């Protein structure tokens, strides 16, 4: 698997931003990752793409929600997210 395929997108919500700046010198980022990615692969992808070292990687499987549209029911796709803690004074610059 290509390292650029492992990390799909950053998640930027109010809750993830409060996690990111919670402690002094401790940066936590929340990322959408490939469903087959494990902790070590996520750590390697962060180092290869962004040149940062992750001290801790927590992985969460998010189950797709059951939705309804009129009389039909369908399930949204399941996905995986990772909460990554970086070493002190390191940060990731996304996009642009």
Going by pLDDT thresholds of 50, 70 and 90, the confidence category of residue 25 is low
Residue 93: inside a domain? no
**What is the pTM for the complete model shown?**
0.86
CATH of the domain at 60: 3.30.70.330
pLDDT in tens, 44-59: 999 999 999 999 999 9
Query: What total number of domains does the chain contain?
Result: 1
**Res. 18: pLDDT tops 90:** no
**Alpha-carbon distance 8 to 24, whole Å?**
27
Query: Strand, coil or helix: what is 34?
Result: coil
**DSSP-assigned states of every residue in 46-94:** HHHHH---EEEEEEEEEPPPEEEETTEEEEPPPEEEEEEEEPTT-----
Residue 96: inside a domain? no
Q: Which residues face 71 on adjacent strands? A: none
Residue 94: inside a domain? no
Domain range for residue 46? 3-86
Q: For residue 17, what pLDDT is reported?
A: 84
């Amino acid at each position: 698997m290509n390292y650029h395929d492992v990390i799909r997108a950053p998640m930027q919500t109010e809750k993830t931003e409060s996690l990111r700046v919670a402690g002094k010198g401790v940066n936590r980022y929340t990322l959408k990752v490939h469903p087959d990615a494990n902790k070590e692969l996520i750590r390697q992808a962060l180092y290869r793409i962004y040149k940062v070292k992750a001290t801790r990687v927590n992985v969460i499987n998010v189950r797709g929600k059951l939705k309804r549209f009129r009389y039909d029911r369908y399930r949204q796709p399941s996905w995986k997210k990772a909460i990554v803690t970086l070493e002190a004074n390191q940060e990731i610059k996304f996009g642009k």
